[in-house]
Structure formats: C-alpha cells, structure tokens
Amino acid sequence: MNIITFDSDAKLNEAAANIIVGQIQTIPRAVLGLATGGTPVGIYKEIVRDYERGMVSFRNVTTFNLDEYVNLPIDHPESYHSYMNANLFSHIDLPESQRHIPDGNAADLEAECRRYDEAIELSGQIDLQLLGLGHNGHIGFNEPAHALIKGTHIVELAEKTREANARFFDSIDDVPKQALTMGVGTILKAKKILLVVKGADKADIIREALQGPITTDVPASLLQTHPNLIVLLDSAAAGKLA
Ligand code: GLP
C-alpha cells in the first residue's frame, strides 16, 4: 500500500488526475472503474483540463461506474448518470457505447446486476479503479454487513449513507433507499486501486480502513489485501493515522 498525503486540495486532485491520465497514456484501451460523490469532482475537473490541453484521449477507453440509485430517474440531477455527464462525460471524447453505469430503473434489477457483471467480464479486467470512502467505511455502496457480496447487487442504503447524501437532495426523504452497486469481489479484482479520501470527518474511518482489522464491518478494510493500492489523502483525512 502506498499512502501519499497532500497539504492542498489542488495538489491532491492533480496527483489523482495524473495517475488516471497516465494510465490511459500507457494503455489507451484502459478499462477504468469510476466513482461519484463529492470527493472526485475536483479530480474530474483536472482530467477535463488535461483532455482540453490535448494530453489524453478517451476514444478507446471503457468505463464502469461503481453504483447508481434505484428508482431515481436517469435525468434527475442527483442520479449518478447526471453526475457523470455533468462532471466528466459531456466534456471528453469517450464514446457513449463505452460508458457503463448500472441501470437503477431496470424492470428486472437482478437481471441488470448480472448484465453489468457480464459487461465488466467481457471488457477484461478493470485496469484502474477509482474509489472514495463513505463515513461508515463503504466503498461503492457496499455497506457494512456480516457478509459482503462479490458481484453487482441491490443494496439497502445505510441510514448514515442516506444522511450523508441528503446534502445533495431537498430533504433526506428524497434520498433513495436502495442502490445497485458493484460488489467488493469486482472492486478487488481491479489491477490497481486508487482510493481518495478528503476531510477531517473521514480521519477516523480511514484509520480503521487502513490500519484496523480487516472486517466486513468496514468494507474498505478489505482494500488492505490488495497488492496494488494507492491512497491519496488530504492532511485532514490523514490526521489520525498511526
Ligand atoms: C457515495 C458513493 C461512494 C462515495 C461515497 C463518499 O454515496 N456511493 O462511491 O465514495 O459515498 O462520498 P463523498 O466523496 O461525497 O464523501
């Protein structure tokens, strides 16, 4: 595990973008796993800047997002489809057919989960998986549980997660109760994982995730077993590491 701490948000975003852009420069047909939430917004801005400077093309890249809410219309401003369009996809040359996000409005959600796993499988392996961290240790929407699920599945969102995401909605009642998420098995199969965590409010959970016991109560703690994990932290998030 390689942990790097930054004293400014700008430097952290630049470093994360460099890793992602560097991956595409090395392997133009790279398969990327992408994340949503507040954390990657600045990283996507940097990537768009690199694209506009002609440093990278996404023509041959394939992307798989980690998750999507269930029963939130795709064009709702807080759907992860809208988020990805607004923050990344509408600014770069990634062909639509090469972007994948689970469909939380599918008539048969179980079938949609299987279809998503098959699409990931068909693309080969995810070369680089970008991850944020939930306050309860979730990755994607893999919430703390007595057992974790390998592949894409339907998940009941934890109250803590709904509270954390209420800031994006008018009220907590509007936050969906379920989501589809890539499973931890798929996440851990990625060749390289880039975990990015910002803010003092994540200092306790990042310590538990990286330096605590490996437990399904803290899904991110499973990342300790990954052979190629890069962790980028701001100094506030790194504040409680031993
Ligand atoms: C969200 C997403 C995760 C994200 C996490 C943290 O709900 N499903 O993929 O990493 O929670 O989000 P944030 O970066 O806004 O703290």
Q: Quick check: is 138 catalytic?
A: yes
**Residue 1 confidence (pLDDT):** 94
Backbone dihedral angles phi then psi of residue 153, each to the nearest 5 degrees: -155, 170
The structural domains of the chain, ordered by start, are 2-240 (3.40.50.1360)
Tell me the per-residue pLDDT of 126-164, one tens digit each, with 9 for 90 and over: 999 999 999 999 999 999 999 999 999 999 999 999 999
Ligand 1 contacts CB of residue 102 (under 6 A): no
**Residue 50 confidence (pLDDT):** 98
Catalytic residue among 81, 143, 165, 226: 143
**Residue 6 confidence (pLDDT):** 98
Residue 57: other Cβ atoms inside 10 A:
14
CA of 114 to the centre of ligand 1 (A): 23
Question: Which parts of the chain sit beneath pLDDT 50?
Answer: none
Ligand 1 contacts CB of residue 219 (under 6 A): no
Residue 65: other Cβ atoms inside 10 A:
24
User: H or E element: which one contains 235?
Assistant: none
CA of 158 to the centre of ligand 1 (A): 12
Ligand 1 contacts CB of residue 137 (under 6 A): no
**Residue 31 confidence (pLDDT):** 98
Q: What number does the ligand 1 atom closest to the CA of 35 have?
A: 9
- Terminal-to-terminal C-alpha distance of the chain: 15
**Residue 64 confidence (pLDDT):** 98
Q: What number does the ligand 1 atom closest to the CA of 66 have?
A: 9
Tell me the per-residue pLDDT of 14-32, one tens digit each, with 9 for 90 and over: 999 999 999 999 999 999 9
Residue 189: other Cβ atoms inside 10 A:
17
**Residue 11 confidence (pLDDT):** 98
